Amino acid sequence: FAPWNDPEAKPLIQFKQVTKKFGEFVAIDALSLDIFEQEFFALLGPSGCGKTTMMRMLAGFESPSSGSILLAGKDIAPVPPNKRAVNMMFQSYALFPHLSVWDNIAFGLRRGGGSKEEIAARVEEMLRLTRLTKFSRRKPHQISGGQRQRVALARSLAKAPKLLLLDEPLGALDKKLRQDTQFELMDIQEKTGTTFVIVTHDQEEAMTVASRVAVMDEGRLVQVSTPDVIYEAPNSVYVADFIGEVNIIEGATAQEGEAVTITWAEGQQPINARSTLSLSPGQKVHFAIRPEKLTISAERPDDAANAMTGKVLDIAYLGNISTYHVELPSGQVLKAQSANTRRIARRSFTWEDTVWLSWTDTAGVVLEQ
Ligand code: ATP
Domains of the chain: 3-238 (3.40.50.300), 245-367 (2.40.50.140)
Q: What is the number of the ligand 1 atom nearest to the C-alpha of 49?
A: 6
Helical pair 116-129 and 175-192, crossing angle rounded to 10 deg: 130
| Pocket of ligand 1, beta carbon within 6 A | 22, 25, 27, 45, 47-53
Compute the distance from residue 54 Cα to the ligand 1 centre, in Å: 10
Q: Which long-range contacts (CB under 8 A, 24 or more apart) does 46-52 make?
A: 46/217, 46/242, 47/201, 49/216, 49/217, 49/218, 49/219, 50/20, 50/216, 50/218, 50/219, 51/199, 51/216, 52/167, 52/199
Q: What is the number of the ligand 1 atom nearest to the C-alpha of 216?
A: 6
Which of 19, 20, 25 to probe ligand 1 with, by most ligand atoms within 8 A of CB?
A: 25
CA dist 196 and 194 (Å) reads: 6
**Closest C-alpha to ligand 1, atom 18:** 48
Q: What secondary structure, in 3-state letters, does 159-207 show?
A: CCCCEEEEECCCCCCCHHHHHHHHHHHHHHHHHHCCEEEEECCCHHHHH
**Closest C-alpha to ligand 1, atom 21:** 27
How do beta strands 295-297 and 284-289 pair? Answer: unpaired
* 255 contacts 275 by C-beta, under 8 angstroms: yes
- Establish how many alpha carbons lie within 13 A of residue 264's alpha carbon, considering only the half-sphere containing its beta carbon: 22
**Closest C-alpha to ligand 1, atom 7:** 52
* 79 contacts 60 by C-beta, under 8 angstroms: yes
pLDDT tens digits in sequence order for the chain, 369 residues long: 789 998 888 899 999 999 999 999 999 999 999 999 999 999 999 999 999 999 999 999 999 999 999 999 999 999 999 889 999 987 777 899 999 999 999 998 988 778 999 999 999 999 999 999 999 999 999 999 889 989 999 999 999 999 999 998 888 788 888 888 899 999 999 999 999 999 988 899 999 999 999 999 999 999 999 999 999 999 999 999 999 999 999 999 998 999 999 999 988 899 999 999 999 999 999 999 999 999 999 999 988 999 999 999 999 988 888 999 999 999 999 999 988 877 655 557 888 899 999 999 999 999 998
